[in-house]
Amino acid sequence: MRKKICIIGSGTAGLQLAYSLKEEFDVTVIHSTSSDKIRNGRVMSTQVHFGSTRNRENRFKMPKWEDKTLLKSVHMTIGNQKLFVGKLKEPALSVDQRFYFSQCLKDLENKGVSFRLMRVNKSDIESLVDEFDLIIDCTGKSGPLFPFPIEKEISPFQVPQRKCIVGYFLGVKPNNPLGISVTVLPEMGEMFEIPAMTEQGPVTILFVMAIPNRELDAFKEIKHAKEFTNQMKNVTQKYFQGIHERIEQDIFALSDEKAFLQVAIKPVIRKPYVTFNNKLVVGCGDSVFLNDPITGQGCNLSSYCAEQLYETLIQYRDSNWDTQLGEAYWDRTKIFVREVTEWTNAMTQVLPEHIVQLLLTGVENQKIADEVAEWFEEPQKAYEAFFQLQD
């Protein structure tokens, strides 16, 4: 008999797990929002999928996306000084999660995966644990539903370090070569400009990461699309001239009424397994590994851990599923989780002097510029640059 797995949550982690596990196990996905509601709802993220994540999507035969907005570079600016354009090793892609998730849900349904549409409450979890051989908690930042213990050493923050202010816009001429633009404004925050694909076509995401209560934290109380657009215009004019110059004033607008978002995340990392009513439960994605979005690693970390969980479950397919499996999964993931987390946490603080010097070296040295771009696709390298050069 095939073992029965229940995945709670159908975001980046839950969907990749469903694709990878459906051949070997009897998979049920429980999700709180129908694909139509997701499609017509609010944007959720900026979701840059770097090369390794896109390779995993291919490995597990996930849907393919139009590649009009492939991101091949990272443009780096500090203040008003453009430093360099570094090349990514493999192209990255940002597809609006409303489009991505709803397409994957339909595709998985056609491929025979079972779905239940319900929001799981804490009062439901005992009966689910009884019903299935394994529950995977993929409830994202609103989770977890289970008491996964916090890893205190790598969860240092008591409050969010940034306000995340995101809008998907029409009317921004793309940067050249097409890529992600990162602008650091010391003591204020950052701006990420990300060309992306939506169901209606290409857009430019403007993503302000504001240090709370400093100058960039200028969107408080803004609830309406028009007000949001006007404020983004003001903010780019005042602080991000390089972007403002590419705004076509007469057509600059949100791509739809729900294409903006404001959120603040308190990062917290948990051990991704726990015993509940004498059964193993595991977590994957933001429910257990929740970082600030500043390094754009959330989807990539979720996808990496989903693949490691898949490999662990295949390895233990014919054994008992107990804490040994949980520990094997954690063993496979903890080094990468730690490196991504410590780099991300460091990026939310004042940049260390040796990193500022390295970024300045990139102005004259293309090899360094390319290495900095590669931090985003291979975060281990960023970790090494941030922490090992300090010795």
11 binds ligand FAD (CB under 6 A): yes
Q: Quick one: which segment of 4-12, 227-235, 319-327, 331-339 binds ligand FAD (CB under 6 A)?
A: 4-12
Figure out which of the listed residues 21, 138, 182, 282 binds ligand FAD, where binding follows CB under 6 A: 138
Q: Is 6 in the site for ligand FAD (CB under 6 A)?
A: no
* Site for ligand FAD contains 102 (CB under 6 A): no
Report CA-CA distances (Å) from 77 to 192, 197, 259, 371.
10, 24, 26, 16
Output the smallest distance, CB 118 to ligand FAD, in A: 7
Asked if 285 touches ligand FAD (CB under 6 A), the answer is yes
292 binds ligand FAD (CB under 6 A): no
| Cβ contact 45:97 at 8 Å | yes
Taking the complex as a whole, the smallest distance from the CB of residue 175 to ligand FAD amounts, in Å, to 16
| 120 lies in the binding site for ligand FAD (CB under 6 A) | yes
Write out the two tokens for 145.
């539903």
Site residues for ligand FAD, window 339-358 (CB under 6 A)?
Answer: none
Q: Which residues contact 17 (CB under 8 A, 6 or more apart)?
A: 7, 136, 138, 284, 306, 309, 310
Round to whole Å and give the CA distance between 115 and 101: 14
Q: How far apart are CA 199 and CA 100, in angstroms?
A: 9
Can you tell me which of 6, 12, 228, 340 binds ligand FAD, judged by CB under 6 A?
12
35 binds ligand FAD (CB under 6 A): no
**Interface with ligand FAD includes 51 (CB under 6 A)?**
no
**Which residue minimizes CB distance to ligand FAD?**
11
Asked if residue 143 binds ligand FAD (CB under 6 A), the reply is yes
* Chosen residue from 5, 6, 7, 10 binding ligand FAD by CB under 6 A: 10
Q: How far is the CB of 205 from ligand FAD (least distance, A)?
A: 8
Question: Which of these, 96, 283, 293, 102, lies nearest to 198 by C-alpha position?
Answer: 96
Tell me the C-alpha distance between 93 and 179, whole Å: 10
Q: How far is the CB of 102 from ligand FAD (least distance, A)?
A: 11
Task: Give yes or no for residue 28 binding ligand FAD (CB under 6 A).
Answer: no
Query: Could you tell me which of 302, 301, 191 has the C-alpha nearest to residue 239?
Result: 191
The nearest distance, CB 206 to ligand FAD, in angstroms, is 12
Q: Is 42 in the site for ligand FAD (CB under 6 A)?
A: no
Identity of the residue, 13 or 185, whose beta carbon is nearer to ligand FAD in the bound complex = 13
The site that binds ligand FAD (CB under 6 A) totals a number of residues, namely 37
Footprint of ligand FAD on this chain (CB under 6 A)? 8-14, 30-33, 45-48, 119-120, 138-143, 145, 164, 166, 263, 285-287, 293, 296-300, 302
